[in-house]
Amino acid sequence: MQPRSCARRSKASTSRVPRPRSRCSSCTHSCCNSQHSPQVRPTAPPTTAPDDVRANADDYNAYFAQNLARFASYLARPDTTSPISSTADKQLPPRGAAWALLRYAADQFSPGNARTFFRGLVAGPTSSVTNLVQRAGVPFDQILAGWMIANYSDNLGIAGLDARYSYTSWNMRDAVAGASGGTYPLRVNTPGAPFATTAQSGSGVYFLAQRAAGAPAATFRMLAPSGGNVGFAGARVYVVRVN
Comparing CA positions, the residue from 132, 138, 109, 129 lying closest to residue 120 is: 132
> 172-179 and 65-76 helices cross at what angle (nearest 10)?
100
124-135 pLDDT, tens per residue? 999 999 999 999
The boundaries of the domain holding residue 175 are: 17-183
CA distance 200 to 188: 16
Residue 194 counted as domain residue: no
Torsion of CA 184, 171, 100, 19, to 10 degrees: 130
CA distance 169 to 53: 11
Torsion of CA 34, 40, 45, 50, to 10 degrees: -10
Residue 133 counted as domain residue: yes
Ranges 18-22, 77-81, 83-87, 129-133: which has the least confidence: 18-22
Using the predicted structure, report yes or no on whether residue 26 has a pLDDT greater than 80. no
CA distance 182 to 176: 8
Residue 221 counted as domain residue: no
Residue 156 counted as domain residue: yes
Residue 106 counted as domain residue: yes
Helical segments of 27-91, H only: 57-59, 65-76
From the number of C-beta atoms within 10 Å of its C-beta (0-12, 13-18, 19+), residue 205 rates as: buried
- The continuous run of DSSP H or E covering 172 comes out as helix 172-179
Note the pTM of the prediction, 2 decimals: 0.75
pLDDT band at 35 (very low <50, low <70, confident <90, very high): very low
**Angle 100-5-219 from CA coordinates, rounded to 5°:** 150
161-191 pLDDT, tens per residue? 999 999 998 899 999 998 888 999 999 988 8
Residue 235 counted as domain residue: no
Using the predicted structure, report yes or no on whether residue 34 has a pLDDT greater than 80. no
CA distance 91 to 88: 5
What pLDDT does 7 receive? 53
189-206 pLDDT, tens per residue? 888 767 778 888 899 999
The mean predicted confidence, pLDDT, of the chain is 79
Say how many domains are in the chain: 1
Residue 175 counted as domain residue: yes
Residue 47 counted as domain residue: yes
